[in-house]
Amino acid sequence: MPQPRASRLAQQAAGGKPPWLADYLPVGSWQRRIVFWAAIPLLLILIVILLVDNVVMPTVTRQGAAFELPDLTQMSVDDAEIELEELGLTYEITAREFSPGEPEGIVLAQNPIPGTAVKPDRIIRFVVSLGQKLIAIPDVSGRSVRQAILDLETEGLELGEIAWAFSDTIPERVVVFSYPEAGREIPLGSPVNLMVNRGRASSFTFVPDLVGLTLGRAEMKLAEKSLRVGVVTRRLDENYLPETILEQSEPVGAEVDINAEIDLVVSTSEPNTIP
């Protein structure tokens, strides 16, 4: 008859090498069964949980890698980009704004703000300067000082200094020109200086050509030269419309004193007109 074979545990015991933890957990005991079928699996599960909590999750979430974000404002975008790369961060520009006194390309604001705890791969958002807004100087020549100031303020510019000039051809207290000159682009809020006519440069003027003008137009032209209408004589002349200047007492271009009177001969359609 075949001899019965001993179990593996019996064979191990017969070999002289005791089973693992045999001194504490006898072979075949219920305590040993509980350890091998319940306690060891629980221990393995606990080890896995500890590995996940302390190794895997910190690696995924970068726990412990947070650091304070430095202040990147007042730096150029290029310099800020270099510093962010060294910290493992990236950036994007969300807005560009005109900023008086700030060069173009300077970081005006950042989000998150400086000192915020961030982690690598965080995107930092910038507001970047477009520099100073440039404004074209309006043409204010020929305008009154008050109107010139209003025109400058409307464009976002300011009145600088007023210098005085003397001119025989421009009315008093009228802007001759601006400096910088009209059309030049300057930063918003910059001052613009004005050259203003203070009065005539001399005590004399020149007689304009009045023949062929109406009396009313002749009076206006004389006033432009600081002259006045003197004696008006009317003469019958059907070749001209009534109130047309036929002659003037001083020749065209004659040099006369300011406020001098120029006598005129004016046409009329009525005979026997008494001057």
Average pLDDT over residues 100-117: 91
Each residue's pLDDT tens digit, 176-203: 999 999 999 998 889 999 999 887 766 7
Q: Mean pLDDT, the chain, as a whole number?
A: 83
Pick the CATH number of 134-199 from 1.10.260.40, 3.30.10.20, 3.30.70.100, 3.30.465.10: 3.30.10.20
CA–CA separation, 69 and 175 (whole Å): 55
* Residue 187 and residue 100 in contact, taking contact as beta carbons nearer than 8 Å: yes
Is 48 in a helix, a strand, or coil? helix
With cut-offs at 50, 70 and 90, classify the pLDDT of residue 21.
low
Give the type of residue at 191: P
Helices (H), the chain: 8-14, 30-34, 40-51, 57-61, 77-87, 145-154, 215-224
Distances (CA, A) of 266 to 223, 247, 256, 275: 18, 7, 22, 10
- pLDDT band at residue 20, thresholds of 50, 70 and 90? low
Q: What is the number of alpha carbons within 13 Å of residue 145 lying toward its C-beta? A: 15
pTM tops 0.75: no
Separation CA 7–CA 213 (nearest Å): 144
Query: Nearest-CA neighbor of 107 among 75, 71, 70, 69?
Result: 75
Q: How far apart are CA 235 and CA 242, in angstroms?
A: 10
Q: Give the chain's end-to-end CA distance (angstroms, integer).
A: 175
- Give pLDDT tens digits for 137-159: 999 999 999 999 999 999 999 99
User: If DSSP states are collapsed to H, E and C, what string results for 108-174?
Assistant: EEEECCCCCEECCCCEEEEEEECCCCEEECCCCCCCEHHHHHHHHHHCCCEEEEEEEEECCCCCCCE
Interior/surface letters 163-177, b for 16+ CB within 10 angstroms, e for the rest:
eeeebeebeeebbbe
- Name the fold adopted by 204-268: Trypsin Inhibitor V; Chain A (3.30.10)
For residue 14, give both structure tokens: 């017969």
Q: Which residue has the higher pLDDT, 232 or 22?
A: 232
pLDDT tens per residue across span 57-82: 666 555 557 899 999 999 999 999 99
Q: Are 162 and 130 in contact (CB under 8 A)?
A: no
CATH fold for the domain made of 67-129: Trypsin Inhibitor V; Chain A (3.30.10)
Nearest alpha carbon to residue 274 among 239, 223, 241, 233: 233
